[in-house]
Amino acid sequence: MNVETRAVSTTAQLADLHALYSSQLLECPYEYEVAEDSFRDAICQPVDGLSDQLLLVAMESTQAVAFVHIGKGAADDGADVVGLIRSLILPRGNRGHDAGQALLDAAHEHFIGAGLRSCHIAGRYMYPCTRTGQVRSTWEHICSLLEENDYRRVPGAGWWDVMAWSDMDLSEPTLGIPEMQVKIGGAPLFPDEPSHGSAPRVTVR
């Protein structure tokens, strides 16, 4: 599974992403397929307070499997600039879960590299071409993936989920249990059991 980066522009390749978006949208009651022009407008039109937008697309060979639309902007209280997810679209099942995890890892790496301390999913930044822009409980496969990555609901103020990375300066602990090993930073001791979400550098066994 490769993650491809696409610019958000009126000339971007969006037909395959439109097909993915429409197939997921039709799972929701009272929603209808969005025309490709409306989908392109929703992605490309400027949004107040939103900048540095990118489309991260999970690819299997030459086929788009899933995508996430990210950017950065003001937190709800206007005090901080945070990482933002505008849309996360992925199929159900193991294939979709793996694609979604690869997309979130790429998005989190991008945000951390930009010096941002948290990632938000906010209704006011989501696409305006649907009846309501929020991530839905109908998409339980997306909700469960977000929970696995330490996203938590924040009531009120229009925020759906927030995930914050630790800003503590962690050091290697001294443990009294010889069977337990902890590695912080660098290559994980157990690459088959990676950490995600708010503690991507910490692996414990």
Q: Quick check: 172 and 165 in contact, CB under 8 A?
A: no
Give the pLDDT band (50/70/90) at residue 174.
Answer: low
Terminal-residue alpha carbon distance, the chain: 27
Q: DSSP character for 37?
A: H
Summary mean pLDDT of the chain: 76
Residue 127 one-letter amino acid: Y
Tokens standing for residue 141: 């496969």
Q: How far from the centroid of its chain's Cα atoms is residue 49's Cα?
A: 19
Give, for 57, the enclosing helix (H) or strand (E): strand 50-60
Give, for 179, the enclosing helix (H) or strand (E): none
Spatial separation of the C-alpha atoms in residues 36 and 31, rounded to whole Å? 15
pLDDT tens, position by position, 66-82: 999 999 988 665 667 88
The pLDDT assigned to 125 comes to 80
The answer to whether residue 56 scores a pLDDT higher than 90 is yes
Is pTM, for the whole model, over 0.85?
no
Q: In sequence order, what are the beta bridge partners of 55?
A: 6, 69
Mean pLDDT of 122-135: 64
Q: Which residue, chain included where needed, has tokens 């503690």?
A: 199
Tokens standing for residue 16: 């395959």
CA angle 46, 82, 68 (to 5 degrees): 60
